[in-house]
Structure 1
Amino acid sequence: MATTFGADRFLRIEEVIHMTGLSRNTVYRRIREETFPRQTRIGANSVAWRQSEIDKWMLAPLPLTDV
């Protein structure tokens, strides 16, 4: 689902987990590994992810790994 600039919205961690199927720990580990979009600070104690960044990440080809 592509979003336009006007339709972009902020997603909290629960929505990111639901959309991606990743666990909370995996989301933060992949952020550290720089393989997942970083969150944006939206308040003093609040962070969120832009839906457009999550959509872009989900549409990107998966890296090949040795099993």
Structure 2
Amino acid sequence: MNTTLTSNSIIRLKTLVQLTGLSRSTIYDKLNPKSPRFDPLFPRKVCLGARAVGWYMQEVEQWLQGRRFC
């Protein structure tokens, strides 16, 4: 199956981990205001169901472009 991601696609956690290079726990730390790793600019998760979340590809791309690279 060949899947093409567009800017308005919703991606799941596995893909977010691959795109950002961050671990699952670091991603959730970036979303948690009580965490020292909290990042207010990190894309917000989207509820897809009772136990499913995703992220908008466009927001992830924007966040990645805004990062400073060494």
Return the TM-score normalized by structure 1. Answer: 0.75
More helix by share: 1
Q: Output the CA distance in 2 between the equivalents of 1:13 and 1:61.
A: 19
Q: Output the CA distance in 1 between the equivalents of 2:13 and 2:51.
A: 13
Post-superposition CA distance 1:34-65 (Å, at most 9, x none): 24211000112210000001000000043xxx
The yes-or-no answer on 1:20 pairing with 2:20 is yes
Return the TM-score normalized by structure 2. Answer: 0.72
Identity %: 32
Q: Output the CA distance in 1 between the equivalents of 2:27 and 2:21.
A: 10
1:39 to 17, 35, 45: 45
Say how many residue pairs are matched.
Answer: 57
- Greater relative contact order structure (CA < 8 Å, 6+ sep): 1
RMSD of aligned alpha carbons: 1.5
Runs of 4+ in 1 over 6 A off after TM superposition: none
What amino acid maps onto 1:28 in structure 2? Y
Residue 3 of structure 2 aligns with which residue? none
User: 1:28-67 maps to which residues of 2 (within 5 A)?
Assistant: 28-32=28-32, 33=38, 34-62=40-68
